[in-house]
Amino acid sequence: MTRLFNDPAAFADEMIEGFVAANSAQVRRVTGGVVRSTVSTPGTVAVIIGGGSGHYPAFGGIVGQGLAHGAAMGNLFASPSAQQVLSVSKAANLGGGVLLTYGNYAGDVLNFTHAQEQLRADGIDTRTVVVTDDIASASIAEKHKRRGIAGDLTVFKAAAAASEAGYSLDDVERVAQKANDMTRSFGVAFTGCTLPGAAEPLFTIPDGRMGVGIGIHGEPGIDETDIPTADGLAELFVTTLLAERPEHSGDRVAVILNGLGSIKYEELFVVYRRIAALLGQAGLTVVEPEVGELVTSFDMAGASLTLFWLDDELESFWRAPADTPAYRKGSIAATAQDTREEALVERVEISPASAESQLAAKTAYLAIEAIAAVIDENVDELGRIDAVAGDGDHGIGMQRGSHAAQAAALELLGAGAGAQTLLERAGDAWADRAGGTSGAIWGAALRALAAELGDTDKPAAGSVGAGVQAAKNAILGFGAVVGDKTMVDSLVPFAETLSREIDGGARLADAWTVAAEASTAAAAATADLLPKMGRARPHAEKSLGTPDAGAHSLALIVTRLSRVLKENQ
């Protein structure tokens, strides 16, 4: 369990602050994460990595010469927001384009993709390579659905070394993709992990048993077995990975035996002793193996094995020197960067708003205040539901996002903003602070709703209904459909019922109440569904009997908002 923390909500920020203070020779803090504090070659490709905190040394610990140029660092087990990725990418940009590379998780994909679109709109050529090395998370036929775990390092290292060698963006992207194609990983765990302030681990494994096929966000494994001997674990690792040897692979492999947080290095060395022998018996030559903690899962007791199949090009990049806070290889010269910068104060423009829209903005603020309150009341239960087959961070993420939205909305209300401006900026604050899938979804939803309300007219029931429909469409654009066991299962019946009731002449508050009842019933019905998207998908059967956390939180929110509308209509 986590013993040393202050406010759990501030843990990630305080961790980053201390990490930078301890490693200022290699990294400096920027909005959204860290970048190199040393001089990089102008005109080369900037390799930007990232993900949630809780995986140290991933991701900030591998920023430095010879490895990443910057890392966007989200909250614990939550992807960084698009704004964080954008900020880090611009701070690290060297003029040769940007490669974004990260593990394949829904929130990361949403937010990094949005950041890529913004970077391209700003004239910065940007590419993406998503890491998919975890063979337990999907079949080889659906390799694109696999998670990224400790194999992140092989892809990041190859891409960064290619950049240091002066490769073009096209070729850095090619190298990163080839590295991903040639990387396979498999993990196990003996205990779950416990986030700061949590009373229980995200999941548990019975004493004497081992979770097989474990992820790095507390996702339960795909199977359980008795705990083997160290040699038995080595044999499981090697046999499993060699069964999925990539096509056209040679006889040279880089090896990473990775500790997930609580396994002692001495234990890893005992396991590696047998791994090395087994690989030798298979006719393979091991090239510069790594044994230790490279991608962790907070305090989880577990380990993973990664095999990175090498050709001449990939081997040269694997052997290339690097100097970062947590990963060093060879010798590399670095010059400190002049980081003296003028303080930049961003002026926030408030669009002119009519008195009617300012009054509507007050109701919008009360609605956001109510959302934050209902999330606070249910944060533990939302986390418990999410932990059944996911990573258990839904409640915490919704809490961070809603409180950030409330703070932004309060400031804008005092500045005389109209309903559109207040909701847009609140959505941006939600997305930036929450990160993850829920942050991206709620940010998009609030912005879509805001566009229908405007800053001039008093919002009528029809415009609110149209706004909810626009929010629904924005969320459907992320790819989920009814039946996937997501927030969409609760949202679609809510939006459709609301529109039908408004079109039938019902007052907004009455229509909203009927729609909230439909949303609540639909959210409860998700208990009978199997998840088809997100981190819960590989553990679909575990979630039967439990509703989807996103659908449930939406139902709680729209039900509470019925009260706000009745009191302010």
| Catalytic residue list | 217
Give the C-alpha separation, 369 to 561, whole Å: 10
Give the C-alpha separation, 481 to 340, whole Å: 49
Give the C-alpha separation, 257 to 85, whole Å: 29
Residues in CB range of 257: below 8 A, 6 or more apart:
268, 271, 272, 275, 289, 290, 291, 292, 303, 304, 305, 306
DSSP 275-309: HHHHHHHTTPEE-S-EEE-SS--TTB-EEEEEEEE
Say if residue 298 is preceded by a cis peptide, omega within 30 of 0: no
Sign of torsion, CA 430 431 435 441? Answer: positive
Q: Retrieve residue 314's tokens.
A: 């990939």
DSSP, res 79: P
What amino acid is encoded at 243 in this protein? A
Q: Is 198 left (phi over 0), alpha (psi -120 to 50) or beta?
A: beta
Give the C-alpha separation, 110 to 79, whole Å: 9
- Strand (E) or helix (H) holding 308: strand 302-309
How distant is the alpha carbon of residue 312 from its chain centre? 33
Burial class (CB in 10 A: 0-12, 13-18, 19+), 107: buried
